[in-house]
């Protein structure tokens, strides 16, 4: 590079720095490390695990701090007190959802996941109502999960005690619950179209946890113009959307207005009811993207949590044995478990909660967004600021948990062995943007885990010491390691 080009480049950088500082001087922003032009604070963040760097930086800058992810001004909330004060006590200011570039491109802004304002309110209210109705309805979700548990256990028995990788099986099992809710249909575990669908969902989660995925979400306008794996991933998202559109058309052709079968039927009925209301958000594109949101949020996260739970049982056989003793005493090995049993199985419930806390599956949560200027703890949060409630810091906060860095079911048990709640247990986030599928996920985790422990004892050929609880990859999600287990019939 010649001298004149160097001078021009240096001048541009200085100009950017000046603009950067002038722009932010008018706001009393939360403190944070000095940011560089264009790349912001990215060099100060640990590759693949930025949440660890956020927690470390908060030791210097406090629980509310400003970080620049590239150009994007971001406020990070660290610790239970800051997260709860923002998302619950000052909920209205924090209801905005950030323009998460991957989801924005995948859904074109439609659906529940990345919407704001009236669209978000209408779709969230409808989704929560429909989930509740089917949970208490004719063939409710509990019964669907119980029936799917039977298919899962039959499949495991077919391995006849030989080692197998549970990843695909668990994805099929959990996704079939979503399929029953959305399509009123389950798929065989060997169905090629179904397996292709699950492969796409898994690939999407892996991509968003990869370096390439994180770069896309930080610099989408650049990545869009560069070749790379992200183009293949979006082509696969199109396949998933086409599958959903095909199912919607099948529902349209067979719709019985007097007897809605599932989520799609209920949504189609609302489309018909509100077709003459200009402000209605019940339209085809919102249906497609909301179904996509339900699949992405409800398949891999829950199946990965169950897979992680199995690795915990293998790692700590004494915990597995104690859970089985409690289950055998309360339910036995033959009766079908139901949600009413949970209050009589405090140790089992505590272990499941501790699995969720320790896995910390979505450490950064989904980003929130300032839809207008507002004040929080004496600082100004300007419009268009991304807000990250650092769930990782809540689930591992030393003043909230006795042994935050160790797997310890006692976190959820009192001195008498009864289950106790902890307000800092926020794997589903909290406030108005908390996960709409939280009740379904809790139901699945409890019913599937108890059903498995009634029938099998889990181990691996390498023994407990060979089992690692350290995630295989971290980023958007902490993904547990793949492993082979042995399911011995009891």
Provide the token pair at 284. Answer: 């085809």
Torsion of CA 471, 473, 479, 484, to 10 degrees: -70
DSSP state letters, 245-311: HHHHHHHHHH--TTS--SHHHHHHHHHHHTTT-TT---SHHHHHHHHHHHHHHHSHHHHHHHHHHHH
Say if residue 338's pLDDT is above 90.
Answer: yes
Please report the pLDDT score of residue 22 as a whole number: 46
Q: How far apart are CA 138 and CA 222, in angstroms?
A: 50
As a whole number, mean pLDDT of residues 305-323 equals: 97
Q: How far is CA 487 from CA 15, 199, 458, in A?
A: 64, 24, 5
Q: Which of 206-210, 229-233, 376-380 has the lowest mean pLDDT?
A: 206-210
pLDDT-derived band at 1 (thresholds 50, 70, 90) equals very low
| The predicted structure's pLDDT at residue 16 | 55
Q: What is the DSSP string of 53-82?
A: HHHHHHHHH-SEEEEEETTEEEEEEESHHH
pLDDT score, position 354? 98
Domain ranges of the chain: 1-30, 41-489
pLDDT at 485: 96
- The whole-number pLDDT of residue 14 equals 54
pLDDT of residue 48: 78
pLDDT of residue 228: 87
pLDDT of residue 136: 54
Quick one: fold of 41-489?
Answer: Cytochrome p450 (1.10.630)
Measured in whole angstroms, the distance separating CA 31 from the mean position of its chain's CA atoms is: 29
As a whole number of angstroms, the distance between CA 383 and CA 369 comes to 8
Long-range contacts of 162-170 (CB under 8 A, 24+ apart): 162/486, 163/460, 163/461, 163/484, 163/485, 163/486, 164/484, 164/485, 164/487, 165/482, 165/483, 165/484, 165/485, 166/307, 166/310, 166/485, 167/303, 167/307, 167/482, 168/195, 168/198, 170/303, 170/306, 170/307
3-class DSSP assignment, residue 97: strand
379 or 48, which is more confident? 379
- Nearest-angstrom CA–CA distance, 2 and 123: 57
Distance between alpha carbon 53 and the CA centroid of its chain, in Å? 21
**393-416 residue pLDDT tens:** 999 999 999 999 999 999 999 999
The per-residue pLDDT for range 59-70, each reduced to its tens digit, is: 999 999 999 998
């Amino acid at each position: 590079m010649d001298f004149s080009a160097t001078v021009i480049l240096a001048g541009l950088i200085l100009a950017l720095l000046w603009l950067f500082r002038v722009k932010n001087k008018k706001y009393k922003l939360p403190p944070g490390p000095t940011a560089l032009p264009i790349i912001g604070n990215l060099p100060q963040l640990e590759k693949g695990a930025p949440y660890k760097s956020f927690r470390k930086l908060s030791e210097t800058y406090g629980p509310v701090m400003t970080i620049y992810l590239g150009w994007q001004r971001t406020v990070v909330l660290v610790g239970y007190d800051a997260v709860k004060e923002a998302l619950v006590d000052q909920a209205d200011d924090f209801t905005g959802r950030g323009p998460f570039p991957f989801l924005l491109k995948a859904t074109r802004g439609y659906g529940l996941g990345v919407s704001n304002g009236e669209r978000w309110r209408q779709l969230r209210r409808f989704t929560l109502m429909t989930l509740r109705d089917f949970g208490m309805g004719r063939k409710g979700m509990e019964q669907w999960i119980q029936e799917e548990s039977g298919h899962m256990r039959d499949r495991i028995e077919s391995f006849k005690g030989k080692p197998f990788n549970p990843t695909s099986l668990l994805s099929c099992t959990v996704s079939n619950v979503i399929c029953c809710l959305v399509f009123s249909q389950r798929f065989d575990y060997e169905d090629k179209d179904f397996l292709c669908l699950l492969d796409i969902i898994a690939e999407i989660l892996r991509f968003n946890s990869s370096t390439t995925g994180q770069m896309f979400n930080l610099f989408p306008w650049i990545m869009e113009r560069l070749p790379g794996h992200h183009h293949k991933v979006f082509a696969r998202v199109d396949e998933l959307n086409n599958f959903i559109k095909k199912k919607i058309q099948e529902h349209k052709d067979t719709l019985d207005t007097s007897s809605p079968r599932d989520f799609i039927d209920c949504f189609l009925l609302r489309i018909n009811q509100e077709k003459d209301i200009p402000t209605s958000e019940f339209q085809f594109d919102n249906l497609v993207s909301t179904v996509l949101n339900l699949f992405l949020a409800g398949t891999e996260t829950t199946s990965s949590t169950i897979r992680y739970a199995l690795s915990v049982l293998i790692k700590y056989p004494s915990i597995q044995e104690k859970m089985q003793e409690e289950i055998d005493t309360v339910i036995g090995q033959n009766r079908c478990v139901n949600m009413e049993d949970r209050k009589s199985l405090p140790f089992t419930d505590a272990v499941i909660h501790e699995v969720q806390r320790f896995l910390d599956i979505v450490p950064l949560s989904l980003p929130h967004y300032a839809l207008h200027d507002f004040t929080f703890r004496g600082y100004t949060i300007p419009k268009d600021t991304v807000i990250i409630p650092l769930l990782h810091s809540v689930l591992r906060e030393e003043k909230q948990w006795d042994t935050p860095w160790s797997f310890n079911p006692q976190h959820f048990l009192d001195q008498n062995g009864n289950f106790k709640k902890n307000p800092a247990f926020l794997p589903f986030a909290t406030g108005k943007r908390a996960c709409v599928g939280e009740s379904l996920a809790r139901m699945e985790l409890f019913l599937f885990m108890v059903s498995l422990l009634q029938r099998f004892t889990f181990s691996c050929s390498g023994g407990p010491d060979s089992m690692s609880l350290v995630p295989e990859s971290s980023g958007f999600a902490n993904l547990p390691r793949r492993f082979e287990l042995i399911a011995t019939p009891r």
